[in-house]
A and B are shown apart, each in its own frame.
Chain A
């Protein structure tokens, strides 16, 4: 299995631009998570989906952030408009959620908003 695949690996954009991060979970996993990691705040859960349905988006910082999961093999996290304080590493993770609560993370997207 190729594991969780995220793209792009790096994204540099200017303040005010729209940013879209992409994730392909492990085949067969029924839950998908978006995390953000910064030095100051560590790893924070933004949103998670179960069977393609958003279950908890309480971690989404504000309305500029949105996430979708149109099918079991693809999810996007969009920031519009982007701000410098959004600069961080964004991770996608997936899980089977069958009582075995293990998360499998992608390699992340390093986002820099100038």
Chain B
């Protein structure tokens, strides 16, 4: 079993839809939960960062962590074509030991 599982998609939704992306993990010691966005031919860029549990909101993006279920989610409201990218979850005990998910390829159709 992989330490971090993420559905690779692809996921295609119409503009304006709410997008839900998620990952599961196996190690209960993990405390850092991040979402990175990667555009084609670019490096991953940090989108959301959560330490421990709970929710975090930033504009149209909301990150949720459920440590009891070992499950994290990223919600995108009012999705835009510019949100089309690959989204990677990254989970671990610190930056030096982050485990990345496979990434979910998302397309927002105008």
Contact = CB atoms under 8 A, between A and B. Distances in A.
Interface residues of B, number: 21
A74 interface: no
A41 B6 CA distance: 12
A101 B42 contact: no
Task: Decide if the interface of chain A is mainly helix, strand, loop or mixed.
Answer: strand
Interface stretch (B11-19, B64-72, B76-84, B94-102): B94-102
Given A4-B43, A43-B88, A91-B43, A102 B95 contact: yes
Nearest to A103: B95
Contacts of A45: 97-98
Contacts of A55: 96
Contacts of A97: 94-96
Contacts of A102: 34, 46, 49, 95
Interface of B: 32, 34, 36, 41-46, 49, 88, 90, 94-98, 100-103
Which interface class (under 10, 10 to 19, 20 to 34, 35 or more) fits A? Answer: 20 to 34
Leading 9 A-B pairs by shortest Cβ distance: A105-B43, A101-B95, A43-B100, A42-B102, A95-B95, A105-B44, A107-B43, A101-B94, A101-B32
A65 interface: no
A56 B46 contact: no
A47 B100 CA distance: 15
Interface in A87-114: 91, 93, 95, 97, 101-108, 110
B43 A31 contact: no
A48 interface: yes
Nearest to B31: A101
